[in-house]
Structure 1
Amino acid sequence: MKAAIIGGGVIGGGWAARFLLNGWDVAVADPDPQAERKIAAVLDNARRALPALYDRALPHEGRLTFHADLATAVAGADWVQESVPEVLEVKHRILPTIVEAAGPQAIIGSSTSGFRPSELNAAGTGAIVAHPFNPVYLLPLVELVGDTDTCARAADILRSIGMYPLTVRHEIDAHIADRLLEAVWREALWLVKDGIATTAEIDEAIRMGFGIRWAQMGLFETYRIAGGEAGMAHFMAQFGPALSWPWTKLMDVPEFNDELVDLIASQSDAQSGHLSIRDLERLRDDNVVAMIRALRRTGSGAGGVVTAHEAALPDAGERDGLPVTAMRQVPVSWTDYNGHMNETHYLETASLATDRFMQMIGADADYIASGRSYFTVESHIRHLDEVHAGDRLTVTTQVLAGAGKRLHLFNRLWRDDTLAATVETMLLHTDLSTRRTSDPDPAVAAHLSGWVERHAGMPAPEGAGRSVGLGR
C-alpha cells in the first residue's frame, strides 16, 4: 500500500509517520528544501512514541521517498493526503493536479481544519475532508466529511492504521472538534486580555481538572455523572438556567491586534520558553502515551482504539520451528540509568509471550472468565545481551512439559539475530473459585498435548533447568 503526502509540515509529517510506521510506503511532495529534515524530526519522535502504545510490534516500516514532482509522488497511491497551508486558493491550485495524477483507486483527503468539502471541490476534485489532530501519529481521531461511499472506504483504511474515523453527518465550517476548541480558545483569549488569568493559569485549569475527565469520558458522559443518580435530565434542570447568565463571551471576539499578540506571546514565553519545541513535543508524546496506555485497561476512549488495532495486527508465524508469541519494540520508559532495558521488562516481555501461548491453547479471556487459568509459580531469567530503547524484540516459546496441571515453558527473547535473554517459566492450572490447582478443561489439555508432541523431538534448550549461580 502506498500513501502520498502533499505538504510536509507538522501535520503532513505526522500523516507520513502514521502511515509509514504501519507498514505503508510513503511518498512526500513538498517544495520546501527543509522538508526532508523536518519530517525526519517528526519521524524520530514517532518511532520513539507510537510503538510504546502497543504490546505487539507494529508492521515493519514502509519505504519513505521524497519528490520534487507532485505527479511522481501521487502515482500509484492508494491514499493521497493534502496538507498544504490553510488557504483555499492554494488548495484549489493543488487538488486538481492531484486528481489528474492519481489513479481512480486513490482516496484524496484534505487535512483542512475549517473548509467544507463543497468549498474544496469547487473545481470538481472529489476530495473528502480527513481532518486529523496533532500529533497525527499518536492521536487517533480523524474527522471525515464528504461523499458517503468515499468516507466509508476511508474509514476502513484509517482503522487499519490505528485511527478513529468520525464521519460528520453534514458539512459545517470547522467540522465538530474545532468548533468546540474554538469556543474554549475564545474564552481563554478574553480571560488573558481582561487580566483574569495568565496563559499558564488557564492551562493549569484544563490539565488539572476537566482535561483529564474529557480524555476518558468526553463532555456529555461527564455531565451525566454530575447529575447523580437522576442522570442527565437532573443535570440539565439544575444547571440549564446558567446558559442564560452572562458567563461567556462566545459571541464577542477580542480585537486581534499587536497588543493582544504580544501579551499572549510574552506569557507563553514565560510559561514554556525554557524548553525547545523538540523538548515540548517529547514531553507531550510521553504524557499522551502514558494516558492512552492507562485507558487501555478499561478500553475507554483512545485506549480502546489502540487495543482494537493491536488485535487486528497479523500473527508473526514461526521462527526456528517455534511459535512467535510476542513481538514488540522497546519503549524509552523500559530503559534504566545504564541505558538498557532493566530486568522487570525482560519478565514483562516473557509474560506477554506466555499469555499469547495460553490463548493459543484455549486458555484465553473467555476461559479465565469461566473461572480457570494458569498461574505462574516460578521463573528464571538469563540476561545474555543488552537491549536498548527502539530495539525490536521477538519471542519464541518452546513447551518443555504440559501434562496434568503443569505447564513448563521456555521463552527465547531475540534482538534481531542475537539471543538477548531466556525466561523459563513453570505454571500450574488453577481453579479461580477455590484458588487451588486443578486439571485443565479437556479441550485445553488436548491443545496443549498437541504442542507437547510437536516440541518433543527438539533438543533441550541451553540453560533450561538451571538456577542462579550455575554455569550458562
Structure 2
Amino acid sequence: MKSIKAAGVIGAGVIGSGWVARLLLNGIDVFVYDPSKEAPKYVNKVIDNAERAYNKLLTSNLPKKGKLLFSASISEVAKSCELIIEAVPERLSIKQSAYEEIESSADKNLVIASSTSGILPSDLQAKMKHPERLLVAHPFNPVYLLPLVEIVGGSKTSKNVIEETSKKFTNIGMFPLHIKKEIPAFIADRLLESVWREALWLVNDDIATTEEIDDAIRYGFGLRWAQMGLFETYRLAGGEAGMRHFISQFGPCLEWPWTHLMDVPEFTDELIEKVSSQSDHQSGQFSIDELTEKRDDNLVDFLKVLKDNQWGAGNSLKEFDESLSGSINKIEFSELNLSSPILTYVSKVPKEWADYNGHMTEARYLECFSEATTEMMSIIGADEEYILNIGSYFTVETHIRHLDEVQIGESIKAKTQVIFGENKKLHLFHWLNHEDGRLLATAEHMLIHVDLKTRGASMPNDLVLKRMGLVYEAHKKLPKPEGINRAVGDKF
C-alpha cells in the first residue's frame, strides 16, 4: 500500500493542528485551510510541541519533515491532496458545506476523514455526490502523541476506504479502532461523557472540588485505565475466578442509586462559576503552555514504559518506532557498499540515557556500540535465527574512547569496519558520530564465535564465514582507524 504523500487539514484548532503535526512529522506534505489569521502561529506552536515530545519519545529518526502550506480556500486544499482531515466546528451544516466545496474541486477518489466527536457519518455524508469516500476518524488530544483514532463508516462508506485509510493511520503511528456500528459520540466520548456528567453533579452538590475529582482519577483508577482499560481491570478485581466472579459480586451494586447517568445538572451561572473558579484555584498557577509541556512529558514517559513492557498503547509506539528504523541494513548483502565502513546503528538519545546534565552517560555509549556489533553480526548472517539454532559471537575484549558529549533528543549514528574476520575471530572498530558530524566516541571489540550448546569456541557456518571473509577482504584495504590498538593513555 502506498504511503500518503500529501494531506489536507480543514480547520486548524486544537485537533486540526494536532493532525497537522502528526502528518507533517511523518514526512507528509500538509495543506491547511483555516480562516483565522492566527492559524499559522498556532499551528507552528503545536508542531514545536510535537517535535519536542517526539525527540524524547522515539529512538528512531522520523522521515524528513513534510512541507507546511497554508491555502486560501478549501477547494485549493482539495486539489492538492489524496486525504483530507476535516476538523471544522461541530455543526452538521458547516461540515456539509465544507464537503460540498471539497467535492466541487477534488478527484472522486479523495478520501475525507471527519474528526467529529459525535455526529454520525451517515448524517455527514447525506448530501455528498460521492458519500463512499467519507468516514469518521476521531482522534484524541494531543493527536501527535495519543495513538487512538476511532474509525466509523456511514451507511454508504466504502469498506475499501475504511481498510486502506486505517492502514495509512497505522503507518503514522496511530491505533485505528474500527467501530462497526454507528452510534452518536462513538465509544470513547460516551464513556467520557458519563464520567463528566457525574463529576459535574459532585461539584454541583458540593461533594467534591474539581481538584479532588481529578486527584481521584489520576492517583487511582486512571492509572489502571491507562494500561488495562475497564474490563481487563475488573477481570483482575474478580481474582482467580475472573470476570464472572466480579460481576456476581459487584453486579447488584449497579441497581443502587449511586449515579446521575441519565440526569444532567442545570448549567446555571452559579455552577459555571463554581467549576471555573475551582479550576482556576487548582491549575491557575500554570500557563496553558506549561500545562501542555507537562502533559506531553508525562505521556512520553508513560508511553515509553508501556513500550518497554509491550503493553497497551506501548505496542503501537513500539511498532511505529520500529517501522521508522527497521533493520539498518535494508538492502541485500550482495548490494552492500563494502568500500567504506558500514552504517550499523542509528538512534536518538532518549531521556533515560542521560545524566542530570542532560548528557548521555558512559554506559549508554557501550550500549550503542553493542547494538552496532549486533547489526554487524546480522549483516554477515549471524542474525536472530542463527543465534537460536547455531551459535553467536561473544565479546572478549572492549576498548572505548569518549571524545565528545551528546544530549537528549539528538541523533547519533555508528559505522563499523572489520579489522579482522577469519575462522572464529571477529575484530571490529566502531565510530559513533553526532548528527552534525562530530566524533563522539570510538570502540574496538574482539569477538569469538561460540557454540551455544557446548558454550565453547567454534567455527561459524559456511554462510557467515563467506560473508565475514568478503567484508574483511574489502575492509583491510581501508586505512587503519586512528586510535586502534589503544590502551588507557597514561604512562606510569
TM-score of the superposed pair, with normalisation by structure 2: 0.87
CA distance in structure 1 between the aligned counterparts of 2:267 and 2:384, rounded to whole angstroms? 56
Residue identity opposite 1:304 in structure 2 = N
AA paired with 1:414? N
Match of 1:395 among 395, 400, 414: 414
Give the residue type in structure 2 aligned to 1:203.
Answer: D
Does 2:150 correspond to 1:143?
A: yes
Question: Does residue 416 of the first structure (1) align with residue 435 of the second (2)?
Answer: yes
Counterpart CA distance in 1 for 2:280 and 2:472 is: 64
Q: Which residue of 2 aligns with 1:157?
A: 168
Structure-to-structure mapping, 1:49-68, within 5 angstroms: 49-68=53-72
> How big is the shift at 1:366?
4.7
Alignment length (residue pairs)? 470
- For 2:226 and 2:453, the matched residues in 1 are separated by 36
Give 1:370 shift: 5.8
Identify the match of residue 475 of structure 2 among 446, 451, 455. Answer: 455
1:108-158 CA deviation, whole Å, 9 max, x = no partner?
A: 101111111012112115321000111111111111111222111101101
| 1:336 CA displacement | 5.1
Greater C-alpha Rg = 2
Distance across 2 between alignment mates of 1:209 and 1:407: 53
Task: Call closer, same or farther: CA 1:431–1:144 in 2, change over 3 Å.
Answer: same
> Any residues of structure 2 matched to 1:351-390 within 5 Å, and which?
351-366=370-385, 373-376=392-395, 378-390=397-409
Tell me the residue number matched to 1:80.
Answer: 84
Structure 1 residue 258 and structure 2 residue 269: aligned? Answer: yes
Matched, 1:106 2:106: no
Matches within 5 A, 1:28-39: 28-39=32-43
Q: Residues 302-355 of structure 1, C-alpha deviation per residue, up to 9 Å, x if partnerless?
A: 111122223333655689833322223345665555565444444444344334
- Is this contact kept in 2: 1:190–1:254, CA < 8 A? yes
Match for 1:190 among 193, 198, 201?
201
2:333 equivalent in structure 1:
none
Q: In structure 2, what is the Cα distance between the partners aligned to 1:368 and 1:287?
A: 38
Task: Indicate the residue corresponding to 1:132 in structure 2.
Answer: 139
Judging changes above 3 Å, is the alpha-carbon distance between structure 1 residues 467 and 221 closer, same or farther for their aligned structure 2 residues?
Answer: same
Find the counterpart in structure 2 of residue 19 from structure 1.
Answer: 23
Amino acid aligned to 2:347: R
1:144 touches 1:166 (CA, 8 Å); kept in 2?
yes
Look up the SS of the partner of 1:172 in the other structure. Answer: coil
The 2-side partners of 1:369 and 1:345 are apart by: 26
Between 1:261-270 and 1:362-371, the stretch displaced more is: 362-371
Aligned 1:222-301 pairs, distance under 5 A: 222-301=233-312
State the 1:285 CA deviation.
1.1
Q: 1:390 to 1:188 in 2, by over 3 A?
A: same
Q: Give 3-state SS (helix, strand or coil) of 1:26's partner.
A: strand
The match for 1:350 is 369
> 1:388 Cα deviation (Å)?
4.0
Report the CA distance shift for 1:469/1:167 in structure 2 as closer, same or farther (over 3 A).
Answer: same
Q: 1-side partners of 2:281 and 2:75: how far apart? A: 45
| Contact 2:74–2:98 (Cα < 8 Å) also in 1 | no
Q: For residues 109 and 340 of structure 2, what CA distance do their matches in structure 1 show?
A: 40
CA drift of 1:173 comes to 0.4
CA root-mean-square deviation: 2.7
CA contact (8 A) 1:412 1:419 kept: no
CA 1:155–1:369: 2 relative to 1, 3 Å = same
For structure 1, which segment, 48-57 or 244-253, has the greater mean C-alpha deviation from structure 2 after superposition? 48-57
Deviations 1:213-272 (A, max 9, x none): 222222212222222221211211111111111222111111122222211121211221
Task: Give the Cα–Cα distance (whole angstroms) in 2 for the partners of residues 102 and 82 of structure 1.
Answer: 14
Once the two structures are superposed, the pairs formed by residues 332-347 of structure 1 within 5 Å of their partners are 338=357, 340-347=359-366
SS at match of 2:433: strand
Q: Which amino acid aligns with 1:22?
A: N
**What is aligned with 1:465?**
485
Report the alpha carbon displacement of residue 437 of structure 1 after superposing the two structures with TM. 5.4
2:51 equivalent in structure 1: 47
Taking a change above 3 Å as real, the CA distance of residues 437 and 108 of structure 1, as seen in their structure-2 partners, is farther
* Comparing 326-335 and 86-95, the one that deviates more: 326-335
**What percent identity do the matched residue pairs reach?**
50
Contact kept, 8 Å, 1:6 with 1:29, in 2: the verdict is: yes
Instruction: Check whether the contact 2:449–2:460 (CA below 8 A) recurs between aligned residues.
Output: no
Residue 126 of structure 2 aligns to which amino acid in structure 1?
Answer: A
Show structure 1 runs of 5+ residues with no match. none
Q: Is the Cα–Cα contact under 8 Å of residues 394 and 448 in structure 2 kept in the other structure?
A: yes
User: Which of 154, 177, 182 is matched with 1:171 structurally?
Assistant: 182
Mapped to 1, the partners of 2:474 and 2:318 lie a distance apart of 31
Instruction: Say whether the 8 Å CA contact 2:444–2:484 is kept in structure 1.
Output: no
How far did 1:36 drift? Answer: 1.0
Aligned residues of 1:21 and 1:60 also touching (Cα < 8 A): yes
